Structure 1
Amino acid sequence: MKWYEIFVLSNIEILAFLVLWSKLNPNFYKYKVRSLFTIAALSGVSVILDYYTIDIGFVISFALLCTMVTILFQTRLEQTLLQFFIVLIFALSVQMIVTYILSIMQEDMSYSFSNGLKVNIATFIICVIIYRTSWLNRIQKLSLSYYRVILTIIVNVAGVIVLFFYIWQVDKAFIWNHYAVLLTMILIWEGLNIYFIYQMIKMRQQEKIIQVHEKYTPFLENLVHEVRQRQHEFKNHLNVLYGLAEMQDDYEAKQEIKNYLQTLIDKIKPVDKLLNIKDHILSAVIYSKKALAQEKKIAFHVEFQGEIPEYPLDKHELVELLGNLLNNAIEAAENGENGSVVLTLGMEGKFKMIRVKNTGKSISRTNTVHIYNRGYSTKEGKHRGYGLYNVKKIVDAYNGTIELSFEEKYIVFTVLF
């Protein structure tokens, strides 16, 4: 093929690749000029590699693509590689299937510009269709929650596909003679890996759910016990009110009854708020953190902003997110005088909101830049710096946002879904 034909085919191929990748990395749309530069640069490299007939030219192109994405689109190398392998599996699988279908429909499937154009255009159209689905988002969400398992499977599948393309570069005749068998084996291999990963994730999720219930069921039992205790005490409160009503001075009796009822209501209100939460695990988490704050002499308040929404998180993810935010807030409030923590649940506009604010030492601007990085902490000691990192990971998996702000004496973290 002519150099310009290779350039055109490479443009379409890389464009299809980046269409899928943009679903995982929104920076591709944010920096459109950089995206166009990436397509043009890699197409140029493909022309050079084809001219010198380098068997591992596609590997060099892939390595260059990952390097450019990491640098130009401000993505961590670890994240770039994970996203690359996900997109690689989708794009190359589609390309192989399209090639096989076209080989059945027409007799001549020689390595030519017209055939390459048909394959690449069809691949591009299917990639656009995949982009409009939620498949890639689901895979990315799972990869954030089960990184090691997902990465192992993805590299496993991608390795087989890369091997297929290497053989294609070296011996195209062998591939064409055994294309149906090789394609079937690759698809079966992908299917087995998908089934394996499904079972692994299902087991991990069940383990986490069991751990959550084991950890917070005692707190839920304590909450129920406290309610029963209040019910038992209610008879005593009625006797007191009856005695106050028997006072001869009506005005004084009214004032005493009013003050007594106000004290009783203030005492019952915190527990009553927790009982209004339909999600029992959520109630148990809040109750456990409230008990922890009380042990440390820290005021703990729960507020509702409208109706409490059903958050889009799995139970164990909600527990991890809220638990980490409240633990950090209590720990920070403990270091100052008159420590206070306020948890707000509800809606903020059309978004589902969780807000945690606490008193304590303010966070410097330097620390705010790195506060969500893994292992970064303003506190001393080992095994720190993972709380907010895990929170950010969960928020990102659901395309949510987390914002740090300052409100008078409070440090405020707001999560929106």
Structure 2
Amino acid sequence: MKNKNKYIIIFTMLFQAIIISILNGIIWNSNTLNIIEENIFFNYILTVIIVITTTLIFISLKKFSYYEKKEAEFKLIKANMKNTEELINLLHSQRLEYLTHIQSIGALVYLEEYEELSKYLKGISKNYRFNGGIISAGHPALTALINAKREIAREKNIFFYTRIKQKLNCMNIPSWDLCILFSNLIENAIEAASMTEGKKWMKVVIDYYNNNFVFEIENTGQMENNIMKNLFKQGNTSKASSGRGYGLYISKKILDKYDGSIDIKNTDIGTVLCTVTLPREVGNYNEEVS
């Protein structure tokens, strides 16, 4: 249905362009200009047609932009679902890994193969990737998101630090909007950190001040000034990935919806710091982010 609507809009715009081209051809025809000047009714009809086609083009462009944003939102939601699924699979595989190690250790102890047991334990400590346990943010959806993004960061050799000073169990912003908001910001931080030289790291801090939740997302790397100026404009992106140009634009719209704020700046230590503030209590916002 989404693709069908896009094709209808494109066809409408092409049809309107053809009509305007035909009218331009008629107007610039020297023989017809005299007729147009003498025919008031024709002038009126021509004006109406131009106004209508211009209006239709404007509406079509708005619709086209709307469907593009919806497609970007769909891709972000799909990515969040994939991250959650990856986290579940990771936990399941780790559980099986733990059981396998416990069974192997138990068998070696039972057989009194202590030398082999020592080698086995050294092998585990050398090769096993310690995951540091599950990070709990006090909000189920955001907890799943942060842990999934942490695993993605680690796959890219990025150190992922977290500091949860305040749990989010009292926040009443819908999970849908909260995950879209922070998925965009954390993904941007991961991608920016992955492109830096030397030690790559990022940090997520959740705190609480003056009845506001404060989120800090910091990563290695610096942002160019021309990108900083247009950061929240619709379609702006420094990356080629599809739908990403709407990521920060949508995040800003969500923050505006809940009376929140965002500040992104370069720091003196060679990092980019993103600070998001959201009120603890928000009203019942049912309007759609557009």
TM-score range relative to shorter protein:
0.5 to 0.7
Could you tell me which runs of 5 or more consecutive residues in structure 2 were left unpaired when the two chains were aligned: 1-64, 68-73, 110-121, 279-290
Aligned twin of 1:219:
86
Query: Identity of counterpart residues, as a percentage?
Result: 26
1:326 to partner: Cα distance: 1.0
Alpha-carbon distance change, 292 to 381 in structure 1, aligned in 2, over 3 angstroms: closer
Rounded Cα–Cα distance in structure 2 between residues aligned with 1:336 and 1:213: 25
| Alignment partner, residue 358 of structure 1 | 219
Check if 1:387 corresponds to 2:254: no
2:153 aligned partner = 293
| Conserved? CA contact 1:302–1:342, under 8 Å | yes
Question: Of the two structures, which has the highest relative contact order with CA contacts closer than 8 Å and spacing of 6 or more?
Answer: 2
SS of 1:286's equivalent?
helix
Could you say if the C-alpha distance between residues 215 and 380 of structure 1 is closer, same or farther in structure 2, counting changes exceeding 3 Å?
closer
Q: Secondary structure at the match of 1:371?
A: coil
What is the Cα deviation at residue 234 of structure 1? 7.8
Output the amino acid matched with 1:302: T
Q: Which moved more, 1:335-344 or 1:375-384?
A: 375-384
- Check if 1:405 corresponds to 2:265: yes
- Cα offset for 1:297? 1.6
Q: Larger % of strand: which?
A: 2
Aligned residue for 1:306, secondary structure, equals coil
Identify the residue that residue 373 of structure 1 maps to in structure 2.
Answer: 233
State how 1:34-183 maps to structure 2 within 5 Å: none
Q: Distance in 2 between matches of 1:221 and 1:281?
A: 13
Q: Check if 1:228 corresponds to 2:88.
A: no
Shift of residue 394 of structure 1? 0.5
Report the TM-score when normalising by structure 1.
0.39
Q: Deviations over 1:350-389 (max 9, x none)?
A: 31122211112x1234432221111122345664421111
Output the aligned Cα RMSD.
Answer: 4.1
Structure 2 length-normalised TM: 0.54
- Distance in 2 of aligned mates of 1:226 and 1:307: 28
Provide the rounded CA distance (Å) in 2 between the counterparts of 1:308 and 1:234.
35
In the TM superposition, 1:235-314 aligns within 5 A as: 235=102, 270=132, 272-274=133-135, 276-314=136-174
Q: How does 1:331-342 map to 2 (within 5 A)?
A: 331-337=191-197, 338-342=199-203
* Greater Rg over alpha carbons, structure: 1
Q: CA deviation at 1:390?
A: 0.9
Work out the CA distance in 2 between the residues paired with 1:397 and 1:365.
Answer: 27
Give the drift of 1:329: 0.7
1:152-191 Cα deviation digits (max 9, x unpaired): xxxxxxxxxxxxxxxxxxxxxxxxxxxxxxxxxxxxxxxx
Query: Following TM superposition, by how much is the alpha carbon of 1:226 offset from its aligned partner in structure 2, in angstroms?
Result: 5.3
Q: Secondary structure at 2:235's aligned position in 1?
A: coil
Equivalent pair of 2:230/2:236 in contact (CA under 8 Å): yes
Q: Which residue of 2 aligns with 1:344?
A: 205
Mapped partners of 2:141, 2:79: distance in 1: 8
Q: Structure 1 CA distance, aligned partners of 2:138 and 2:241? A: 38
Give unpaired runs (5+ residues) of structure 1.
Answer: 1-146, 150-206, 243-259
1:396 maps to: 256
- 1:297-317 deviation digits (Å, cap 9, x = unpaired): 211122212334543421111
Conserved? CA contact 1:321–1:394, under 8 Å: yes
Aligned pairs, how many? 194
